[in-house]
């Protein structure tokens, strides 16, 4: 990972969303939050079902 793109400053994003590294870097660099324009929104019914519970544990099976 020698490319200069990976030498960005420290990631300053501390929000709850699972955003891409491109978005994280843009926020850290103080870029306009318009970078999120066109991103899909979480449907309201999905947000309502989020109870803050632990994620479902899934175990891989060998074939």
Per-domain residue ranges of the chain: 4-49
**pLDDT band at residue 46 using 50, 70 and 90 as cut-offs:** confident
Work out the pLDDT band at 47, boundaries 50, 70, 90.
confident
Judge whether residue 11 has pLDDT over 80. no
- Reference 36, options 47, 20, 50; nearest CA is 20
Contact of 26 with 35, CB cutoff 8 Å: yes
Which ranges in 1-63 belong to alpha helices (H)? 21-28, 44-49
Interval 24-50 mean pLDDT: 81
Instruction: Give the global pTM.
Output: 0.41
Is a pLDDT exceeding 70 seen at residue 9? no
Better-predicted residue by pLDDT, 31 or 51: 31
pLDDT of 8 reads: 64
The phi, psi pair for 41, rounded to 5°, reads -100, 150
């Amino acid at each position: 990972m020698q490319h200069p793109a990976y030498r960005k400053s420290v990631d300053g994003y501390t929000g709850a969303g699972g955003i891409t590294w491109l978005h994280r870097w843009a926020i850290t660099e103080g870029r306009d939050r318009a970078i999120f324009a066109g991103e899909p929104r979480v449907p309201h019914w999905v947000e309502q079902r989020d109870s803050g519970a632990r994620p479902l544990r899934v175990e891989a099976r060998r074939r």
